Amino acid sequence: MENLKFMDEALVLAAEAAAEGEVPVGCVIVRNGQVVGRGRNRRETKKTALGHGEIEAIADACKNLGGWRLWDCTLYVTLEPCPMCAGAIINARIPRVVYGASDGKSGACGSVCDLFSMAFNHHPQVEKGIREEECAALLQEFFQNLRMELRSRPKWKKPQTQ
Amino acid sequence: MENLKFMDEALVLAAEAAAEGEVPVGCVIVRNGQVVGRGRNRRETKKTALGHGEIEAIADACKNLGGWRLWDCTLYVTLEPCPMCAGAIINARIPRVVYGASDGKSGACGSVCDLFSMAFNHHPQVEKGIREEECAALLQEFFQNLRMELRSRPKWKKPQTQ
């Protein structure tokens, strides 16, 4: 029940990202049943390569809790973390990660590689597939709309020279 | 010569980190011979798990260049990037990474794993061992001082009960 409740909160943030024209990924960090960090993908609007939901949520949680160790927190995210975000989860010592959809292109928690099973100094536990269909559907709809928009744009033509 | 010049700039930032009581790691990002991003480790002072030199330098470069793609940049860092920072380098599409000392405990560019050779969508080139001795010496000195400081502290004693 906790998994579903907090994944729904992450899905709300993912939908907010989509409404801003961003790839819809949302993330919440939870401690003792309370949300202590929130984030959503904002790579385009913030114009930074670091603008993933997990990074924003970890920064928010560290600020709210006053330290860099998130020892007793769980991170919920709609899409499998990429290497940057999985590495940030290791650095923040987050013991438990729950994600929705898998990411065959960039996932670093089992898809392309599994950073959490390698010889680093922290090994978070993972639960995956929570609200998987809803998380994936948001992404599919976003990319479908993007493709339609790109197709409807007038084609670029090479300027004619005299 | 370029490698040495910019690694020296990263070493200055690493020394600044040490002076602030932080693990001495410094980083610069260079485009067309100009430094466009600077960062140093500030995990303790900023109280965030994201406070590594590379993350700060990438954020700085994205801000200065007005976008998240650092396509034509080189990142110089005194210590081999961890998974979070190597992942951020992939996300920022940085094509070339130069580092000083290797990191057998957390290095994700060849030591513990090599994220840049895995099936992600970007594969930066790496040069390592530039100013290796100086980069490693700064870290060794920092940890030696830290151990001495810890040893000189009065030992904690269990309070005596009546």
Interface confidence, given as ipTM, is 0.93
Residue A161 pLDDT: 66
Residue B49 pLDDT: 96
Please say if the pLDDT value at position B99 is more than 70.
Answer: yes
Chain A residues lying within 8 Å of B51, measured CB to CB: 68
The percent of residues in chain B predicted with pLDDT above 70, rounded, is: 98
- The overall average pLDDT reported for chain A is 95
Instruction: Please report which residue ranges of B20-156 form alpha helices under DSSP H.
Output: 43-46, 53-65, 83-91, 132-152
**Residue A132 annotated among the catalytic residues of the structure:** no
Residue B158 pLDDT: 75
Strands (E), B48-124: 73-79, 96-101
The whole-model pTM stands at 0.93
Residue B84: helix, strand or coil by DSSP?
Answer: helix
Please report, for residues A27, A80, B33, B48, the alpha-carbon distance to residue A97 in angstroms, rounded to integers and kept in the order given: 11, 9, 41, 19
CB B39 within 8 A of CB B57: yes
Residue B161 pLDDT: 67
| Reported confidence tier of residue A2, pLDDT bands at 50, 70, 90 | very high
Residue B154 pLDDT: 79
More confident residue, A75 or B161: A75
Q: What is the mean pLDDT of residues A85-110?
A: 98
Closest by Cβ to B91, choosing from A82, A113, A118: A82
Residue A153 pLDDT: 83
Between the two ends of chain B, the Cα-to-Cα distance in Å is 69
User: Token digits for A153?
Assistant: 């744009």
Contact B90 A83 (CB under 8 A): yes
Residue A1 pLDDT: 86
Hey, of B27, B36, B47, B48, which one would you mutate to test binding to chain A, going by the most A CBs within 10 A of its CB? B48
The three-point CA angle B102-B81-B100 to 5° equals 40
Please report, for residues A41, B33, B34, B115, the alpha-carbon distance to residue B120 in angstroms, rounded to integers and kept in the order given: 19, 28, 29, 8
| Reported confidence tier of residue A36, pLDDT bands at 50, 70, 90 | very high
Please say if the pLDDT value at position A162 is more than 70.
Answer: no
Contact B55 A50 (CB under 8 A): yes
Q: Which of B54, B56, B80, B149 is catalytic?
A: B54
Please report, for residues A48, A63, A79, B12, B162, the alpha-carbon distance to residue B69 in angstroms, rounded to integers and kept in the order given: 8, 27, 22, 26, 66
Closest residue in A to B111 (Cα–Cα): A119
Contact A47 B66 (CB under 8 A): yes
- The overall average pLDDT reported for chain B is 95
The percent of residues in chain B predicted with pLDDT above 90, rounded, is: 91
Chain A residues lying within 8 Å of B47, measured CB to CB: 62-63, 66-68
Q: Could you read off the pLDDT of B18-69 as tens digits, one per residue? A: 999 999 999 999 999 999 999 999 999 999 999 999 999 999 999 999 999 9
Closest by Cβ to B87, choosing from A51, A83, A93: A83
